Amino acid sequence: MKRACLFCLLIVVFAAGQNVRAQLPPWTRFTLPSGLEVLVVENHLTPIVTVEIAVRNGSFTEPPEYNGLSHLYEHMFFTANERDTTEDEFLSHVDDLGILFNGETQEENVQYYFTLPKQNLSAGLEFMATAITSPLFKEEELHKQREIVLGEFDRSEALPLFQFGRKVNAALWGDNISRKEKLGQRSTIKTATRQKMLTIQHKYYVPNNSLLIIAGDVKTEDIKRLVPIYFSGWQRGDDPFAKDPPPVIPELTQTTIVADTVEQPTATVMVRWHGPSIGIDDKGTYAADVFSYIIGQAEHEFTKKLQESGLALGVNFWYYTQRYVGPIQADIVTTPEKLEQVMRIFWEQVAKFDDPNYFTDDELETSKHALRTQILYKSEQLSIFAQDLAFWWASTGLDYYEHYLDNLSKITREDIRNYVHRYIQGKHYVLGVAMSKEASKTVPLDRLQPSQKP
């Protein structure tokens, strides 16, 4: 599943940290002997509770023959298990407990979340424990879910820019595309077997590769008592990444242009670089976020010259935090007649990224003030906040997340310059352009690149 909007992710990036921890709902972490990490977030505003399990699974664990199966597995979670032996029974149980539920598969995590009345917490924990530990993967239900996922594929493919995005992604990740394409491939989904589901389960769905979040109108002491009752039977497994770590994604060795035809009045541009990775260049990830936020301000020249000028309909420059190479992404929408001018200005701006005067101290400080309040808004909606916590746990670990704003505040101009030099300026990239067949005849692609090529 996809987050509501990619830009929101950027905002989420800033929605945590030591500086503002005091204003967040209090949380407590503990770990069961099995290795299951548990995070309890207390908030007594409304008498509901969200129970969530996140697993370090997703496309980053998928070789080509498994690409898309983390997502299919996520669908199978909501079908039969040892207690509810059919999908109907499962859904009936959901009804009985008053559960709102959903699941989400991303590149580096898979999440399952239930929100339910607090009176049903114990039953909800038992339900979650049963579902996560004892899926049956019935053949008939697997067949059904394969068709449903293919239906999801159909729906995505009907979107005008879906295929364009996949082509850009393919150029950016090359042989490792399966590790970054969370929806996967039709052929893999069509041929998915029960055995493959079991393989995923045994390898990744182990407590020492999972996080349990309980957020809402609960008492931490009660949770400490209840969780072992329902989850202690979940047996520790091997570390899934000890013997089989995800492959190292090599740097781009060439710049690639992806041109696609989409019959619409706009021209859509995607520029992509390989950005920093968690665990390898954490400082680079902080610098990336600070920098993206600064130039995204409405009064910064990057946004003013491209968007306020009326040249672009929309511009978004952001870094997607990932452990295994987070992409730096510029998305621009304009009209074909303005495309060349937009790209000339875009590359002029990129050339200025390391200019000491490119942003002011005031712009930096303004960002810090604004970020502090973002967290308050985010944490108001606990059922969603739990999903953000799970995202960060999977890709960065909770320590990174807890100290996030504190580390952002330490980022200097020099750090930002290093980030720009290391990942953007003079580096290879993928440039994707989609516009109508007619328009593409009038816009030479080589004029959409910077005058000085890497």
Residues 46-75 that bind other proteins (CB under 8 A): 46-48, 74-75
Span interacting with other proteins, options 204-212, 230-238, 296-304, 389-397, rule CB under 8 A: 296-304
Check residue 155 for interaction with other proteins (CB under 8 A). yes
Q: Which is nearer to other proteins, 91 or 257 (CB)?
A: 91
Q: Does 360 bind other proteins (CB under 8 A)?
A: no
Q: Does 78 bind other proteins (CB under 8 A)?
A: yes
Strand partners, 433: 259, 269
Shortest CB 297 distance to other proteins, Å: 6
**In terms of CB distance, is 144 or 428 closer to other proteins?**
144
Return the number of the residue (129 or 262) whose C-beta is nearest other proteins.
262
Residue linked to tokens 């781009």: 252
Candidates 80-88, 235-243, 284-292, 397-405: pick the segment binding other proteins (CB under 8 A): 80-88
Residues between 300 and 359 with contacts to other proteins, criterion CB under 8 A: 307-308, 310, 313-314, 335
Q: Does 153 bind other proteins (CB under 8 A)?
A: yes
Instruction: Tell me if 156 sits within 8 A of 183, measured CB to CB.
Output: yes
At its nearest, how many Å lie between other proteins and the CB of residue 47?
7
- Compare residues 310 and 356 and give the one whose CB is closer to other proteins: 310
Does the protein bind other proteins through residue 45 (CB under 8 A)? yes
Closest C-alpha among 186, 54, 190, 196 to residue 137: 196
Site for other proteins in 117-136 (CB under 8 A): 117, 119-120, 123
Q: Which is nearer to other proteins, 231 or 385 (CB)?
A: 385
Which residues touch 269 (CB under 8 Å, ≥6 apart)? Answer: 330, 331, 332, 333, 334, 339, 342, 343, 346, 431, 432, 433, 448
Residue 240 CA to residue 210 CA, distance in Å, equals 11
Our finding on whether 262 is near other proteins (CB under 8 A) is yes
Output 148 or 351, the one with its CB closest to other proteins. Answer: 148
In the range 363-402, which residues lie near other proteins by CB under 8 A? 366, 369-374, 376-377, 380-383
Task: Tell me the backbone φ, ψ of residue 240, rounded to 5 degrees.
Answer: -65, -20
